[in-house]
Structure 1
Amino acid sequence: MLIHIEGSNLPGQEWGQCGQTPGVSGYRNIHIAVQRRDRPSELFGLHPGDALSAHWELEVTARSVDGQWDLRGPYVQGRPGARFIYLSWGTVDDHEVFTMFRRAKLWLDGIDHGVLTAAVDGGLLVGRLGLTDMRGGPLCAAVRPPLIEWSTS
């Protein structure tokens, strides 16, 4: 099965500290990517923070466990019943080195069971979300509906 994540409304390539990180005056050349499970330095689909949109297609397997779907794959994190996908925000320096400063955790437990069953049957699950938070910064922390909309198309 494929999970297709569609991100819109990216926050831009620069972001000030907003009072959250003492000693940090802001971030420049911001990018976002999907983080590989157990390998935070392995990123998939790096997009600049000022892109019009960001898209990722992730191959996953789905199996039924006690009447619930368990999704697994190289970019799916967590244990059964608590699976998620990390979108990592970071800066890219002059040597193309990515340094993460925050993450959004796309919780898979928030997907409606009927939608997930139809996605498993059809082979496609789509997640759509805005990537800028309420204060204008890169979206972070736990992301569940209504911040993300899950569907089969």
Structure 2
Amino acid sequence: MRIRIEGSELPGRTCTPAPGFPGYDDVRVAVQRRGRPDELLDPHPGDAAAAAWVLECTVTATDAGFDVEGPWIQGRPGGRFVYLSWTAEGGMFRRAKLMLDGVEPGTLADAVAAGLLVARLGLTDAKGQPLCAAVRPPLVTWSAGPAS
């Protein structure tokens, strides 16, 4: 199966300082490889119109539903996620955890059958900064789609 992540509403190439946030230049977002925080898949500039990634994964049926694994999938069974890593001139400064436990079981079953799970989300938080922390619906919309 594949997971396609479609990000919109990026925060910009420069994120200005704010209380508790030092500000950053040359902001980019990418998917972080499991166990290799410096290996990032297809970094997109923070001022891009959109950002998208396609991740290959394997899905195994379990008593609890499905378990998703792959080189870009983080965490343990029941707590799997994809890291969207924000980097700047000084390295990584923030991450968003795109939580797979937020996918409805029926949607995941449909995605397994179709070969594609799609995540759609905005990448700017309510303060205008790069999205971070655990991301679940309604911040992300999950759907099954036909594999291309």
2:36 aligns to what? 39
Taking structure 1 as the reference length, the TM-score comes to 0.92
2:137 to 129, 138, 145: 145
Which residue does the alignment assign to 1:81? Answer: 78
- The TM-score, its normalising length taken from structure 2, stands at 0.95
Aligned residue number for residue 20 of structure 1: 20
**Cα deviations across residues 18-53 of structure 1 (Å, max 9, x unaligned)?**
2114xx3x2001000000001100000100000000
Runs of 5+ consecutive residues of structure 1 not aligned to the other structure: none
Structure 2 unpaired stretches of 5+: none
Give the share of equivalent positions with the same residue, in percent. 57
Give the C-alpha shift of residue 16 in structure 1: 2.1
The separation in 2 between residues aligned to 1:8 and 1:30, in whole angstroms, is: 15
Instruction: Find the aligned partners of 1:69 and 1:147 in 2 and give their Cα distance.
Output: 22
Aligned to 2:91: 99
CA distance in 2, matches of 1:101, 1:125: 28
Aligned partner of 2:8 in structure 1 is 8
Q: Secondary structure, in 3 states, of the residue corresponding to 2:111? A: helix
Alignment correspondent of 2:67: 70
1:48 is matched with which residue?
Answer: 45
Residue from 111, 116, 123 that aligns with 1:119: 111
> 1:73, 1:84 → 2: CA distance?
11
Letter in 1 for 2:17: Q
Matched, 1:57 2:63: no
State the distance in 1 between where 2:110 and 2:49 align: 29
- Matched residues, number: 145
Deviation for aligned residue 1:13: 0.6
In structure 1, how many angstroms separate the alpha carbons of the residues matched to 2:10 and 2:35?
Answer: 26
Give the CA RMSD over aligned residues.
1.0
Q: Secondary structure at the match of 1:28?
A: coil
